Amino acid sequence: MKDMPQMGMGTFRLEGEEARVSASKALDVGFRHIDTAQFYDNEAQVGDAIKTSGLNRNELFVTTKVWHESLGEDHFIPSVHESLEKLKIEYVDLLLIHWPYPGNDISLESYLGSLAKAKELGLTRHIGVSNFTIDLLDKAEEILGKGEIYTNQIEIHPFMQNRKVVDACKAKNIRATAYMPFAVGKVMKDETLQQIAQNHNASPAQVVLAWMEKRHIYAIPSSTSKTHLQENLAYGGVQLSDDELALVDGLDNGERIVNPDFAPEWD
């Protein structure tokens, strides 16, 4: 089974033709992981990009996520079939619960059971969660069993390093995947990151991606620019010193960007 690449192309906030073109550019420059979600309403466009890329299915790692309204037992599996139809593929490599369900009418046991069923049915190779707290991770591991949760996709960037959750993931052998790794462009304006980038003739984005790899964090940055996509992919040329890694570590101030009213009680 294909492992998740260190970096993927995120598609949050990309709509319609922009989503298709951006995903096509990403595949064209060498990305092999595309991340989407039912809620993004762009699975069909991502599917078009995959279909026209000329790449074999086994070369790609595709992630999608099940939204709240589909977490009920009657809706879960049909919603995954619908996602696959839009994506024009027979299975995803990774299927995630997008957010823990905020109400009381659908239990964690119920929707994680449906997630496990999707894997049993061959609709996905791996299963995981997104925006789960340590307490929810503990409960999910009890329900699904050790080693079943492939990743927890959470907000991580230099200003919000989410260390407690990242450490909990590592202890459970769950990959931590960073969404919004560039803090909606804020990393580009940070003086510390600009200075480190200058030292390496690189971009602040490349510095962040190099730092994440050293900290064993996967990343799914989003971009519509072919140049930025190519730059992101070339981050491996940036070898940060221990001092530079410590400088990035020091930027953490707990600045959370994504905090909807249905979010869990964060750690």
Binding site annotation covers 98? yes
Q: Residue 1's pLDDT is what?
A: 78
Contact between 149 and 128 under an 8 Å Cβ cutoff? The reply is: yes
Contact between 196 and 247 under an 8 Å Cβ cutoff? The reply is: yes
d(CA 120, CA 38): 21
**Two tokens, residue 168:** 């909990």
Q: How many CA atoms lie within 13 A of 264 on its CB side?
A: 17
Q: Residue 196's pLDDT is what?
A: 98
Task: Report phi then psi at 66, rounded to 5.
Answer: -90, 130
For 164-223, what is each residue's pLDDT tens digit?
Answer: 999 999 999 999 999 999 999 999 999 999 999 999 999 999 999 999 999 999 999 999
Other C-beta atoms within 10 Å of 103: how many? 8
For 57-91, what is each residue's pLDDT tens digit?
Answer: 999 999 999 999 999 999 999 999 999 999 999 99
Q: What positions carry a catalytic annotation?
A: 40
Q: Residue 205's pLDDT is what?
A: 98
Contact between 144 and 138 under an 8 Å Cβ cutoff? The reply is: no
Q: Residue 2's pLDDT is what?
A: 85
Q: What is the mean pLDDT of residues 127-153?
A: 98
How high does pLDDT run on average in the chain?
Answer: 97
Q: Which domains does the chain have, with CATH numbers?
A: 9-182 (3.20.20.100)
Q: How confident is the model at residue 48 (pLDDT cuts 50, 70, 90)?
A: very high
Q: Residue 161's pLDDT is what?
A: 98
In the chain, the amino acid numbered 231 is E
For 99-124, what is each residue's pLDDT tens digit?
Answer: 999 999 999 999 999 999 999 999 99
pTM over 0.95: yes
Nearest one of 4, 6, 10 to 182, comparing CA atoms: 10
d(CA 205, CA 194): 9
